[in-house]
Amino acid sequence: MASKEDLFAEAAKHWDLERLYQAFAEAKRQISPRSRRGLTDTEKLYLRGLLSGCSPAEIAKKMFQTPKSAEVYLCKTLYQYVKKLADLPNESVGNWRNVCDRLQEAGFKTLSSSEFKMNNSLPTEALVKIVNIGFKESTVSIDINIRLEFPSTSETPKKEDLDKND
């Protein structure tokens, strides 16, 4: 059996857990000022379970609880905190799947390394210049120059200019 700390560890790969724990703790304090400070280990575990894409029933199974007890626990705790964070006090969370959507909209999801590489490899500026268009019998020829600017880790952006002849 995996330790409780190892359960739902994959949530840390895609979510800023420390920031989430702090935000949830603040929401908890506002909702229940007399409750224990910070999130309990159980609240953190349930949150990681939801962030890992597990249903309450799946979380309950891994924690050797009944699905109904997990649902009740989530409704009384984490769902209330999500409503507070999303500033939706009179709305229902609706479904456990909505938790990730609301938290992603609030900016708690981190970019995976592949998403980060993809976002940093896209051109920030592109210039396409048509130099010449030619018609010969049934053939059309178009000469173009393309300039792309890519983000750089340095202060000055790097440019690749195809106008230049090497």
Q: Which phi and psi angles does 100 have, rounded to 5°?
A: -60, -40
Across residues 88-102, what is the average pLDDT? 80
Q: Which phi and psi angles does 112 have, rounded to 5°?
A: -70, 165
What per-residue confidence (pLDDT) applies to 101?
87
> How many Cβ atoms are within 10 Å of 135's Cβ, its own excluded?
8
pTM here?
0.64
**Integer angstrom CA distances of residue 32 from 26, 47, 70, 86:** 10, 18, 20, 17
Burial of residue 82 (CB within 10 Å: 0-12, 13-18, 19+) is: buried
What per-residue confidence (pLDDT) applies to 113?
45
Q: Highest mean pLDDT range out of 56-60, 129-133, 158-162? A: 56-60
Gap between the Cα atoms of 66 and 63, Å rounded: 9
